[in-house]
Structure 1
Amino acid sequence: MWRRTFTSATALKDKKWDALIIGGGHNGLTAAAYLARGGLSVAVTEELVPGFKFSRCSYLQSLLRPSVMNELELGSKHGLKLLRSNPLSFTPCLDGRYLLLGTDKHLNHSEISKFSQKDAEAYPRDFLDLLLSPVSKVLNNWFEADVLKATLASDAVIGSTASVHAPGSGYVLLHHVMGESDGDRGVWSFVEGGMGSISKAIGSAAAEAGAHVVTNAEVSQLLIENSSTVRGVILADGTEVHSSVVLSNATPYKTFMELVPSNVLPDDFVRAIKHSDYSSATTKINIAVDKLPQFQCCKLNHPHDGPQHVGSIRIGFESMEEIHSACQDAMNGVPSRRPFIEMTIPSVLDKTISPPGKHVINLFVQYTPYKPLDGDWQDHDYRESFAQKCFTLVDEYAPGFSSSILGFDMLTPPDLEREIGLTGGNIFHGAMGLDSLFLMRPVKGWSNYKTPLKGLYLCGSGAHPGGGVMGAPGRNAAHLVLQEVRKTT
């Protein structure tokens, strides 16, 4: 087994732990691995949330830091296998053309030249201009082909409620392209066995170092002494677990507004956390199909899987204005009439997740408001109608897609909040705008993983440097805790 578990969570109360970690996602387990390797006794509490294996939320890997991969020996020792996707993206067009982009400079030049020779020459350039500007402003200055600008701009609004015209949207694009896979910058990869294999490998490294991972052990409240110091946690079954160090991989809102007792934190800190932006417009649809989608714009002589199936497939938008229009629908309180869809087909590269000849397809869909004005996500018919709208849109580019569907699972923003613990359904544990990055994450004055409560630390995506499957917040928080512990011993 990759993890060491107790038969009962009550076994946790038999000792005082050096550190407790709330939430066993990739950042929580990363923190556990580093703390255990540093000699601390560590416990991680985790609430667990035929034929096909789905990555229910995250779906591609690029941001996992090389330091975490190497230091925890995730690939060499703990079975993590990355399956690189190249080409990286495929954007079909209704006029019969398409755009493939990848790591090959010659391929990129040839593909972009189909739309603009000028853009093909300008494509390899410095991305620092993106840091502060709306992505639309930068891309309009750089390029002229709508489909190229739309393909690049889509990465600037993934997981957000923002338009391509929003100030700072360029940073989110930078955040996505700064990743790497096996040393190559900007390369995304699938993970063999699904994205859960990342947590499995990190959990294996943590268990090997001596960390204890306890499932079905939901934390209901933090134990606080003298309104200022953490002394452990109370589980949902009433069990008290004691430690002078607690790291939370929950969202900042859940940590401070739900787990910390009231009237303990400073009023200005509570206001800042309470009014942070946790809005989301993301819906994830996981689909089992009996055949690959065949895009009518492709005449690539690949009757089965081809380069168009390997990377991220951008569907339903061929200009930045179409992305903006989809966003405006959500700003007006209704799901996008023409949703912006990113499709991935991990089973093309990973044969372990679906039966032979069948496939797993992920649709990352925007924009879907948390509380739509024209219906309710709890209404089965309303949910079904939106899912069918997405499938019909894919049919425009890949006729017959809808008829290939064997079954699907849909997670709207309220589902992501309820089932995964993501406040507002926000996949980054909070918006990644310029007012909530760097020294402002999660709030001004508390960007160094510490909190107003002595012994309580944030180690999740709500801390610097933010969201994505990177492990950096967990690693950084663990190193800080080890420094603090060594000061007192």
Structure 2
Amino acid sequence: MSLTNSLRSFLTTTRLAVSNTVRSYSSQSIISHKWDVTIIGAGHNGLVAAAYLARSGKKVLVLERRHLVGGAAVTEEIIPGFKFSRASYVLSLLRPRIIKELELVKFGLKVYQRNTHSFTPMRDGRYLILSSDVDETRREISKFSLRDADRYSTFEDKLCKYADAIQPYLERAPADFSRGISLKSLYELGPSLEAGRKLGLREIPEFTEFLISPASKWLRKWFESEPLLATLATDAVIGAMISPNSLGSSYVLLHHVMGEYEGRKNVWVYPEGGMGSVSRAIANSAVHHGARIEVDKTVTRILVHEGRAIGVELENGEEIRSEIVMSNATPYVTFSKLLERDLPKHLQNEVNLIDYTSPVTKINVAVKCLPNFTCLPNSHPDKPQSIHSASIHLNCESMTDIHKAYLEGQNKQVSTYPMIEMCIPSSLDPTLAPKGAHVISLFTQYTPYNPIDGPWTESKKEDYCNCVFNSIEDYAPGFKQSVVGKDILTPPDLEAVFGLTGGNIFHGALSLDQLYWCRPSRTLCGPVTPIANLFQCGSGIHPSGGVMGSPGLIAAETVIELFRNKDKNTSSSSSSIN
């Protein structure tokens, strides 16, 4: 069997696995079945919620509008023989607890570790490599600054300490004081006390300064060499319409370094088979515990009766009833598109004010050979070097370069020299492309949702893609000639394909006014909503985006607690959760 046919067979088998599980319910349609929880959207957070709820014994139905599960964490064979992580493309933030408790390794999760973390080539022939090898990293940085090389390990320790301090927040809902002070709300302050203990009182002012400062200011306190500053600054802006000079960009930096895998801090890995294998492993766990997952099922309305969510309506007019409805969609879609009634004016205003600005255009490229960088030529045309498995930063030779690109995007212009993060997962994972060929992920910015010269057209997309390819050509001549095919996803495309409002990969900007108590807004923070029995479980709530799983976990635990309390109070006359 050819590799192309093998990949197609694998994808078909995966989809049938979900269908076969559904067939165990064939004697009862999803319409007549009594569900405890209906979940809108089979993105990874919705699947995490489904798995935990099913583990607790609840009857769970997940409805997905697309033909496959995963939301933005999917693998798709857009070009025959080439499997792409079409939206999200690397793994680090998924909570270790989720991996362990849902037994994701048992259910198919396998990853490839990257020993070289980042590679920043320069047009003048120099380059910077950061890796897990401390001595190598020190030698690399010392090419630009001995002072920076001496300070780098201390800088990493500091950043890891900050990341460790916020770990207690990542699996707990924000403290709720909306009904005054109670034992429960005081208990919910536990993460703050734990964070303070980990930091120590003397370090809290510095940590606070870090959180609210521009990344450029904080990084310049540590380093002087522009290639190192720019390389680190990419994590402070990736996925966000901000500059390294923007207030709060340091938090975005922290958000991207607070992950871990198998105990290794601040590492990013490639899942075998692409990001869709992460979602499939979670789905497999959910199905194993009794959840039912239905694809090609578009929810058009959340049904509400007497102020309570009672189910959903599908595109074909069918209604499905359940005690609880959970939405993995963005807050805008949930409250402005799916609710069958208007929200109170003040709530609708809050929904309308949520910032979904996105700078991202994702380009997936199939190539017939590896990029060959002028500054560090390939030793063998078909053998990947360690740099090919890294995050490769292009047009990132100084923070000024990134800021200039941002200013164009802020003015609704497409950046002339876009910031590019290139990843080549097939350099480690042979299942993604035919032998000798490769799949390349290009995460690029800044591209506005509505360019100043009019909406995106196919011609404009091609022009922008050519601009990106020309930049790559500057560093790796011959790249354009190696291209077999491509898939261009501008912010409107990301919205249309994956349901990401505004094309924002985080379900809402990671700005300081949209974090913790205020994510996505003060009234709508956390999984609980003003509509009884309706809960949010997507990345639009705390602790926000990335393939983390925490919003789904927090939402599931909130609902499990409500069911537990209901069981303890069986004398209640209401048949729904209060």
The counterpart of 1:372, out of the listed 428, 451, 459, is 451
Is the 2:420–2:445 Cα contact (8 Å) retained in structure 1?
A: yes
Give, in whole Å, the separation in 1 of the partners of 2:441 and 2:28.
38
Is the 2:347–2:523 Cα contact (8 Å) retained in structure 1?
A: no
The equivalent of 1:118 in structure 2 is: 147
Is the 2:372–2:378 Cα contact (8 Å) retained in structure 1?
A: no
Report whether the alignment pairs 1:382 with 2:411: no
Report whether the alignment pairs 1:108 with 2:109: no
- The CA deviation at 1:241 is 0.3
The counterpart of 1:411, out of the listed 465, 489, 492, is 489
Paired residues for 1:48-87 under 5 Å = 48=66, 50-75=80-105, 77-87=106-116
The counterpart of 2:269, out of the listed 189, 206, 214, is 189
Deviations 1:236-264 (A, max 9, x none): 1111000120111000000000001232x
Deviations 1:398-450 (A, max 9, x none): 00101100000000000011111000000000000010011111111432310
Report whether the alignment pairs 1:326 with 2:397: no
- The CA deviation at 1:103 is 1.9
The equivalent of 2:559 in structure 1 is: 481
The equivalent of 2:36 in structure 1 is: 18
- The CA deviation at 1:267 is 2.2
Paired residues for 1:83-482 under 5 Å = 83-124=112-153, 125=155, 126-127=158-159, 128=162, 129=207, 130-226=210-306, 228-263=307-342, 265-299=343-377, 301=379, 303=381, 304-377=383-456, 379-482=457-560
Give, in whole Å, the separation in 1 of the partners of 2:481 and 2:269.
28
Residue type matched to 2:34 in 1?
K
Is the 1:2–1:201 Cα contact (8 Å) retained in structure 2?
A: no
Give, in whole Å, the separation in 1 of the partners of 2:50 and 2:222.
44
Residue type matched to 1:405 in 2?
V
Give, in whole Å, the separation in 1 of the partners of 2:308 and 2:427.
51
Give, in whole Å, the separation in 2 of the partners of 1:165 and 1:8.
57
Give, in whole Å, the separation in 2 of the partners of 1:52 and 1:182.
28
- Higher helix share goes to which structure? 2
Give, in whole Å, the separation in 2 of the partners of 1:74 and 1:133.
37
What secondary structure sits across from 1:245 in the alignment? strand
Give, in whole Å, the separation in 1 of the partners of 2:112 and 2:256.
18
Residue type matched to 2:346 in 1?
D
Query: Is the alpha carbon distance of 1:465 and 1:191 closer, same or farther for their aligned partners in structure 2, counting shifts above 3 Å?
Result: same
Give, in whole Å, the separation in 2 of the partners of 1:261 and 1:330.
36
Q: TM-score scaled to structure 2, two decimals?
A: 0.82
What secondary structure sits across from 2:506 in the alignment? coil
Report whether the alignment pairs 1:33 with 2:113: no
- The CA deviation at 1:294 is 0.5
Give, in whole Å, the separation in 2 of the partners of 1:308 and 1:178.
23
Is the 1:2–1:200 Cα contact (8 Å) retained in structure 2?
A: no
Give, in whole Å, the separation in 2 of the partners of 1:333 and 1:111.
37
What secondary structure sits across from 1:5 in the alignment? helix
What secondary structure sits across from 2:84 in the alignment? coil
Give, in whole Å, the separation in 1 of the partners of 2:17 and 2:243.
42
- Is there any run of 5+ residues in structure 2 with no aligned partner, and where? 1-15, 68-79, 163-206, 568-578
Deviations 1:136-173 (A, max 9, x none): 11011110000000000001111111111110011011
Residue type matched to 1:20 in 2?
T
Query: Is the alpha carbon distance of 1:389 and 1:8 closer, same or farther for their aligned partners in structure 2, counting shifts above 3 Å?
Result: farther
Give, in whole Å, the separation in 2 of the partners of 1:146 and 1:195.
32
Deviations 1:14-51 (A, max 9, x none): 12200000000110000000000001000000011511
Deviations 1:350-373 (A, max 9, x none): 100100000000100100000111
Query: Is the alpha carbon distance of 1:10 and 1:412 closer, same or farther for their aligned partners in structure 2, counting shifts above 3 Å?
Result: farther
Deviations 1:262-304 (A, max 9, x none): 32x3322211111110010100000000000000001574553
Give, in whole Å, the separation in 2 of the partners of 1:452 and 1:9.
36
Is the 1:375–1:382 Cα contact (8 Å) retained in structure 2?
A: no
What secondary structure sits across from 2:82 in the alignment? coil
Q: TM-score scaled to structure 1, two decimals?
A: 0.97
Deviations 1:463-489 (A, max 9, x none): 110000011110111011000111011
Is the 2:473–2:480 Cα contact (8 Å) retained in structure 1?
A: yes
Give, in whole Å, the separation in 2 of the partners of 1:415 and 1:60.
20
Give, in whole Å, the separation in 1 of the partners of 2:393 and 2:556.
37
Deviations 1:66-109 (A, max 9, x none): 0000000001x101001111201100011111111122211211
Residue type matched to 1:225 in 2?
H
Is the 1:32–1:206 Cα contact (8 Å) retained in structure 2?
A: yes
Residue type matched to 1:45 in 2?
L
What secondary structure sits across from 1:14 in the alignment? coil
- The CA deviation at 1:347 is 0.4
The equivalent of 2:187 in structure 1 is: none
Give, in whole Å, the separation in 1 of the partners of 2:28 and 2:353.
36
- C-alpha RMSD of the superposition: 1.5
Is the 2:230–2:396 Cα contact (8 Å) retained in structure 1?
A: yes
Residue type matched to 1:66 in 2?
P
* Matched positions, count: 485
What secondary structure sits across from 1:253 in the alignment? helix
Is the 1:5–1:215 Cα contact (8 Å) retained in structure 2?
A: no
Report whether the alignment pairs 1:5 with 2:22: yes
Give, in whole Å, the separation in 2 of the partners of 1:8 and 1:392.
54
What secondary structure sits across from 1:142 in the alignment? coil
